[in-house]
Each structure stands twice: as C-alpha cells, then as structure tokens.
Amino acid sequence: MKYSQLFPKTLKQAPSGAESINHQLLVRGGFIDQLFAGSWTLLPLGLKVVTKINQIIREELNSSGAQEMQMPLLHPREIWDQTGRWSNKDVQQIMYQFKDIHGREFGLSFTHEEIVMNLLGKFVKSYKDLPLKLYQFSTKFRNELRAKSGILRGREFLMKDLYSAHVSEEDMYIYYEDVKKVYLKIFQRMGLDTKIVEASGGVFTDKNSHEFQVLTEVGEDTIYYCTQCDFAENKEIYQDREGSKCPRCSNKIEEANSIEVGNIFPLGTKYSKDMKVFYTDENGKEQLIWFASYGIGPTRVLGTLVEIYHDERGIIWPESVAPYQVYLVGLDLEGERVKGEAERVYKLLQAEGVEVLFDDRVGVSAGEKFADADLIGIPYRVVISKKTHSTSSGQAKDKLEVKKRDEKNTHFVSFKGLISLLKDS
C-alpha cells in the first residue's frame, strides 16, 4: 500500500472528548472512526490489525478441534423466552429489543447461547455427535449506559464467541480447562500478559466464570491476586481485603486495575433443560447436553494493545498484529534517481512477501513523515533518501536506513540484511 492512496490520513490533534489513550491514538492514526458514542468504524488500518487478531484466535481454536460458522444477529423473542432470559431485568437493560412492522418481537444479539442450543436440538441426536465445539466472529450489540474508554466499551462491537456441547460435566470441564490454556497462548501471541481471574456468571450462569485480565492502571475492572500463586478473583466476588492472605498459599493478596479481554462460562445443563434439548446415550436413554461458552472481544483487544503499547509519539504494535511490517519512507522523492530506488525497494519488499506501507508523498517534510510513522506504530521504519542512495562521489550505496519503532537508534543494512532481520523477528 502507498500512503498517498491510504484512506484516511493521520490527524495532528485528538478528537474533542477523547480521554482514553486508545481513543486518541487509534483515531489520530487513522485506525477507527466514531459514528456515535459506542459505535465505531474499523478503517483499513484498523481492520488489518483486527484481521490479524482474528487469525491468531482462529488458528488456536481450530487446533482445539473447534469449527467456525456464522449465526444471525437478529433473534426472535420466542427462542429467548424458552430460557426466560428475554424477560430477565438484567438482560433487558443491555439487550436491544423491538417490534418489526408486523408486530413480531426481536432482539439484537449480545450473545448466542439460545441460538446455538436451538441448532444442537436440530442436529445432535446421539452421544456419537458429541463433543461439539462451534465458534464465530460476529457483531454484538449491548445497550451500555455509558459507552466510554474509546473502543474498549461499545454499544456495537466485534466478538469471537465459542460454544461447546458435551455428554457430561466431566467432559465439559476437560475442554473448559483446555480453553484456558488456548486463551493464554492466544493472548501471549498478541503480546498480552493475562491473568485468569474467577468472576461471577452474570446473566449467563449461576456458576462462577473466569475472566482473562490484563493489568493496567487505566483498566476499569478491579481484581485481587496472589503475588506467588495463580489465585485471582474479580472485585464482584472477592470477600477479603487487599493485603490479606491468599486462601491457597497464604501469601499476600494485591489489588490492581485491569482490562478484561476474554471470558469463559461453564453453563452446565440450564440451557438444554430449558430448551428441552437432549442426546441419546449408549443405553438409548435421553440425557441433557452439558454446555459452556467462551468469548474474546477482538476490538476490545485492539484498544487494550494500544493502552499497553504506546509512547508519547504514538502506537507501538507488537509484530504479530501490526498492520504492516515495514513503514518505507521515501525522502527527496523530487529526484528521479531516489524516487526510482524507493519504488524498486518497495517492489522488492512486496516480492519477498513483506507487508509494506510506502510513504510516497512528495513535498512532505522528513519530520512529518517520521511523525506519522511513529504515530501509526509499524514495527520497522526503512528510509530511502539521498543519504542512503549515493555517496559524495555519486556512487550508489547498497544500504538502507532502518529503525525499530521501540528503539532510538537507526542503523544501516543491506536489502538482504533487512529481509533476514524481518524473517528473524
């Protein structure tokens, strides 16, 4: 991609009312745009990052035996009435519910447990059909009382939701524990260090659930965790005080702010019982399906990454999710020799399979181009200029000026050296 063709360009100032870092930098960098409070457009750069986040999730879930599908976002009331959740006051506070022109009642999805259980009732007949793990990437709608913190808390957002169905509680918890490990690996690949935190089940289940929390001072959640073992609980269920002893190992408990990037729920047989969905066991007897659900918010992850990885100049993307690997800066492009060399390197990088954003703007200062490179946060900045292209005698150089986004110093490497550097990173 050439920067002259990229939509849109960067902004020098953050939008009015943008308090959170992710709101400021993602809008200024041209990654997202706000339609209204809690509703965001993923612009081309933002979509590239989210696509990479999704691909990491997809690869790890597929390795666990899960299958991807896509479900409707518009849900008829009668399916939600089967579990009683349509009339639940807590659900009604967050679910958009309305009537169509025929007077039929519908809701916009904030989750899909009822829809998945409806599917299971149609297609699962025998114990031989289980276990089953199904997931999707889809839009969710949630009537937030106060949409804030940039893209971290929205009324409309992207969610990866996974659902698993099992013949027994034991089998459900085996996969539940497997997903914990899968989630830790997913977040590790994105550069996020997460803690598994026990929490309430909310409107999903009367059982305790588990959240995946990233420690940060700007987080809206409060968790209590042990400094030695893996004990951690959300403020909603934690009974003791900060500084008290861990119930598992007797070491100190600390309080911290955090951002929730994922959650998992052991739902048990509530949904299959309410919706009368059974499987036939080996003895021909009907049994209730054991059920669990697992969520990750890719757009929430997008915002969390920016809150964690930034400096005073802009975003610093982890390489696994960066929109491009290289920000190629062309300077002195008024000269045909330098312009030609910049175009040549751009095409060579593409031929090597390198994702490159080429700042090909003419008449823009080096300072402005470098500032945009820092703001957008692509891992490697590579400069082509008179300085890199020729010596004082006019002879061509085979050197490129390279700087990592999270480092201060630049260095010169050959094209082959750059490719080696990129492949080793």
327-to-95, 130, 389 alpha-carbon distances in Å: 42, 48, 18
Q: 3-class DSSP state for residue 287?
A: strand
Query: What is the location of CATH 3.30.930.10 in the chain?
Result: 17-311
Query: What is the location of CATH 3.40.50.800 in the chain?
Result: 326-424
Q: Which pLDDT score is estimated for 203?
A: 66
Which residues, at least 6 apart from 380, have a Cβ–Cβ distance to it below 8 Å? 325, 326, 327, 402, 403, 404, 405, 418, 421, 422
| CA 164/CA 141 separation, integer angstroms | 22
pLDDT digits (tens, 9 = 90+) for 220-255: 999 999 999 999 999 999 988 777 899 999 999 999
Side-by-side strand order, sheet with 74-76: 74-76, 105-108, 97-99
More confident call, 169 vs 395: 169
More confident call, 203 vs 105: 105
What residues are paired with 106 via a beta bridge? 76, 98
| CA 88/CA 107 separation, integer angstroms | 13
Q: Which pLDDT score is estimated for 206?
A: 75
- Scanning 232-365, the segments in alpha helix (DSSP H) are 270-274, 298-308, 336-351
Average pLDDT over residues 396-414: 89
More confident call, 150 vs 392: 150
| CA 333/CA 350 separation, integer angstroms | 20
Structural tokens at position 331: 């300077």
Q: CATH assignment of 17-311?
A: 3.30.930.10
| CA 368/CA 58 separation, integer angstroms | 37
Q: Which pLDDT score is estimated for 390?
A: 57
Average pLDDT over residues 9-36: 95
pTM of the predicted model as reported, rounded to 2 decimal places: 0.95
Structural tokens at position 300: 């929430």
At residue 393 the predicted structure's pLDDT band, cuts being 50, 70 and 90, is: very low
| CA 161/CA 255 separation, integer angstroms | 29
Average pLDDT over residues 119-133: 98
- When the candidates are 3.40.50.800, 3.40.50.720, 3.40.50.300, 3.10.20.30, the CATH number that belongs to 326-424 is 3.40.50.800
Q: Which pLDDT score is estimated for 398?
A: 66
At residue 395 the predicted structure's pLDDT band, cuts being 50, 70 and 90, is: very low
| CA 109/CA 76 separation, integer angstroms | 10
Average pLDDT over residues 415-423: 94
